[in-house]
Structure 1
Amino acid sequence: MVKCYGRIRALDGFDLEVGAGEVTGLIGHNGAGKTTFVEVVTQLVRPDAGELRICGSDALRGPRSVREMVGVCPQEISLYRTATVRDNLRLFGALAGLRRAARHEAIRRLATELMLESVLDRPVGLISGGQQRRAQAASAMIGNPPLLLLDEPTAGADPQTRAALLRSVRARAEAGAAVVYTTHYLPELTDLAATLAVVRRGRVVARGEQSSLLHGLPSTVRLRFDTSRPARLPPELARRAVRENDEWHLTSLDPPADLAALVAAGCSPTFVDVDRPGLDHLFEALGAPPAGNHQEEARDAG
């Protein structure tokens, strides 16, 4: 898939397939193309080239036929602020093709699932940010669509909201929905057992399980020693170690083996902590800027 804004290619051969019951974590720095991809799938923008199929249907040739198949939770709160939570959900339920009785039951179920019972009849603009996040997620899920697009749904959310949203996403995937979940927070994707798709400069540059993508990336082992005796690290470890104040930081592909080598050499540390590789390490290994790097690549193309 290709999408250009002037000379900027926001999507440059973007290729992604998500199966039923699968959660795909879409990760990449700001400006990599994640949000542009979501906008194309939701038909807010049209790609310049490529194809888009949802449940086997050509979404570019027959967009109306697939709209009810997609539930979208954008980054920004997009609910009607002066309308109540209930009225917002009624509207999105109707747009999803639910009849009145089915809408009523779906609202009741989602209100319980996402802890919204106490605010159903309050205007969206008068409820908390966490409640707004949960209400927006409910609006995406109300029709039980086969495809869910969740664009940083927990951004700025409190722990209670984050836990509730992750439970709901897991439940939808277990029921057979295909889920695309964008985030900068890797532990959420671990919780969802998501497959990762790493986006860089408008294309997916790596795809796989977290463990396989992070395998082979070094950990940082933080060490402290008895200050009354200077630490003498074995030469093969000293070459990979840097001293910072009272700590040694050792780059290690096999922390247990390196710690065993330290002890065997008579250098028993008094403190050990292992920083495992994470999202920024993965981006660095793939040649991409870290997740917090705000890079403009196409009118805030995402």
Structure 2
Amino acid sequence: MLTAYDLRKRYGASTALDGFDLTVAPGEICGLIGHNGAGKSTFVEIVTGLTRPDSGTVTVGGLPPARARHLVGVAPQEIALYAPVTVERNLRLFGGLAGLRGPRLRAAIDDTAAALDLSDVLGKPVGLLSGGQRRRTQAAAAMLHRPPLLLLDEPTTGADPLTRTAVLTLVRDHAATGAAVVYTTHYLPELVELRATLAVCARGRVVARGSQDELLAEHETLDGLYHALAVHHA
């Protein structure tokens, strides 16, 4: 579903991506991990078409990002919702942009809100929500149209246990339908719970890729693997 090959991106003297390669299959949850500055967020921006690479290729379902936006759902690290309007109006907007209309949009809002425990706050302005409710609303906006590719960039940062559980459950359920998921996080236990494959990033490239069992063969924990690879490629 997602294929990136030899992506390179510089911002002045700073190199964000330096030969970044990644393939994520339908039904796979890929945990994208690495220290700040490893290139994770730049990669997500390129896949969504917000940023163009200097070189290299990326396709979603065989299409370039500019033609694949209807195939992608994204929840960025920073909350990207309209605070003055209600949860429901936010979801109607994002669902409409994804091509949902009429009864399909209504059903998607109801189902996703129920799954993320948002039904009781649909009529409440986003600006009055708790931090966890905002995180769940952002996740709902990304998943509303059941995209074949889901990009989640630190989706549970600062979240309460209810939000964390609700988001992880919906991510697992979405992948079970055949969607590919790229899940960026610093909270490694979530990747264990999701049974995610791993892509470890350092200095703008993927330096290790595989299942947790494969990559943990020489390390007792994900934290040990993460820090060993980061130090080795620093």
- The TM-score with structure 1 as length reference comes to 0.73
Q: Note if contact 2:34-2:230 (Cα within 8 Å) is conserved in structure 1.
A: no
Residue 18 (1) aligns with residue 11 (2)? no
In the alignment, which residue of structure 2 is the partner of 1:28?
34
In the alignment, which residue of structure 2 is the partner of 1:8?
14
Q: Which AA in structure 2 matches 1:278?
A: L
Query: 1:228-285, CA deviations, whole angstroms, 9 ceiling, x for partnerless residues?
Result: xxxxxxxxxxxxxxxxxxxxxxxxxxxxxxxxxxxxxxxxxxxxxxxx4332x21332
Residue 277 (structure 1) aligned to one of 217, 221, 227: 221
In the alignment, which residue of structure 2 is the partner of 1:94?
96
In the alignment, which residue of structure 2 is the partner of 1:144?
146
**Pair member with larger Rg:** 1
Residue 288 (1) aligns with residue 231 (2)? yes
Alignment partner of 1:16: what SS? strand
Alignment partner of 1:179: what SS? strand
Residue 78 (1) aligns with residue 84 (2)? no
Structure 1 residues 287 and 132: CA distance shift in structure 2, 3 A:
closer
| Structure 1 alignment gaps of length 5 or more | 218-275, 290-294, 296-302
In the alignment, which residue of structure 2 is the partner of 1:132?
134
Divergent runs of 4+, >3 A: none
In the alignment, which residue of structure 1 is the partner of 2:175?
173
Alignment partner of 1:21: what SS? coil
Q: Which AA in structure 1 matches 2:178?
A: G
Query: 1:91-117, CA deviations, whole angstroms, 9 ceiling, x for partnerless residues?
Result: 000000011211100000011100001
- The TM-score with structure 2 as length reference comes to 0.94
Deviation at 1:287, TM superposition (A): 4.3
Q: Which AA in structure 2 matches 1:93?
A: G
Q: Note if contact 1:29-1:288 (Cα within 8 Å) is conserved in structure 2.
A: no
Deviation at 1:201, TM superposition (A): 0.4
| Percent of matched pairs sharing the same residue | 59
Q: Which AA in structure 2 matches 1:31?
A: G
Residue 198 (structure 1) aligned to one of 192, 197, 200: 200
Query: 1:125-158, CA deviations, whole angstroms, 9 ceiling, x for partnerless residues?
Result: 0011000000000000011110000001001101
Alignment partner of 1:52: what SS? strand
Across the aligned residues of Structure 1 and Structure 2, the Cα RMSD in angstroms comes to 1.5
Distance 1:70 1:203 in 2: 22
Deviation at 1:288, TM superposition (A): 2.8
In the alignment, which residue of structure 1 is the partner of 2:50?
44
Distance 1:9 1:45 in 2: 14
Matches within 5 A, 1:103-118: 103-118=105-120
Distance 1:39 1:57 in 2: 16
Distance 1:288 1:70 in 2: 33
Deviation at 1:42, TM superposition (A): 1.1
Distance 2:205 2:34 in 1: 10
Alignment partner of 2:132: what SS? helix
Deviation at 1:194, TM superposition (A): 0.4
Distance 2:27 2:38 in 1: 26
Deviation at 1:26, TM superposition (A): 0.1
Alignment partner of 1:46: what SS? coil
Query: 1:11-63, CA deviations, whole angstroms, 9 ceiling, x for partnerless residues?
Result: 0000001010000000000110000101111111111001111101123xxx1
Distance 1:152 1:18 in 2: 18
What number of residue pairs does the alignment pair up?
228
Structure 1 residues 13 and 107: CA distance shift in structure 2, 3 A:
same
